[in-house]
Amino acid sequence: RVREAWEVLGEADSRGAYIDRTVHGMKTEDELAMAQVEAFWKAESEFKRGLALFHQGRIKQAHELFASAHLAVPDELEFRAYYAFTTFKQAHQGGDEMGAEEAKEMLKDVLEKNKEQARKLDAAWVLAGIVYRDLGNDTAAKRCLVQALKLNPSISDANRELRRITGKAPGQKKPEAKAKAKEDKKGGGFFSRLFGGGKK
């Protein structure tokens, strides 16, 4: 026992780790890693429950679960995309223009960061398309939906949303001049970088 104790306490690093664990109650690296894994599993479970509610049209309830998942694992872009979208929906419907704009920017940031990842979030492009459709900018909405189809040609949500936009009868098209002008003012912004710039 004395030998075992000396092996732990006689070396600075192992002594420090022992003191941190037994005196200060700190977790070991393995325990911390396992805690992170468990936190992700819990967040993923909440996200999936949120998706089920989301597809039922229960946006408010889904938002609460997406918020919890995003808070637990803020670097997971899929969680963040749906959290941003449901935040936008609630703010837009409630007349909170600033909140809606912030949520839209969060979603755009997700798409920008996702360009560097191997797993592309085609569904997030659909969400962005719906956001722009709700804002009356059908041009940007179509670009987002087309991008979703480029990533995943079989994504049915993108086809459905495109039909909603392009299938409108004359006179029913939402005014998009104001929203488009606002985007164009930003020059070199997200969509101009993505689609080669210039007004179209």
**What is the pLDDT averaged over residues 8-21?**
71
**What is the pLDDT averaged over residues 82-111?**
97
**What is the pLDDT averaged over residues 2-7?**
76
Higher pLDDT, 49 or 176: 49
List Cβ<8 Å contacts ≥24 apart for 78-82.
78/47, 78/121, 78/123, 78/124, 79/43, 79/47, 80/106, 80/110, 81/107, 81/110, 81/111, 81/121, 81/123, 81/124, 81/127, 82/47, 82/50, 82/51, 82/54, 82/127
Chain-centroid distance of CA 99 in Å reads 16
Whether the per-residue pLDDT at 95 is higher than 70: the answer is yes
**What is the pLDDT averaged over residues 47-76?**
96
Whether the per-residue pLDDT at 134 is higher than 60: the answer is yes
Q: Would you tell me how many other CB atoms lie within 10 Å of the CB of residue 38?
A: 10
User: Which residue type does 72 have?
Assistant: A
pLDDT, position 26: 72
What value does the mean pLDDT of the chain take?
83
For residue 138, how many C-alpha atoms fall within 13 Å in the half-sphere facing its CB? 14
The tokens for 79 are: 């969680």
d(CA 153, CA 149): 4
The tokens for 11 are: 């070396």
User: pLDDT tier at 200 (50, 70, 90 boundaries)?
Assistant: very low
**What is the pLDDT averaged over residues 137-154?**
95
pLDDT, position 58: 95
Each residue's pLDDT tens digit, 169-197: 334 444 454 455 555 555 555 555 554 44
Each residue's pLDDT tens digit, 153-165: 999 999 999 999 9
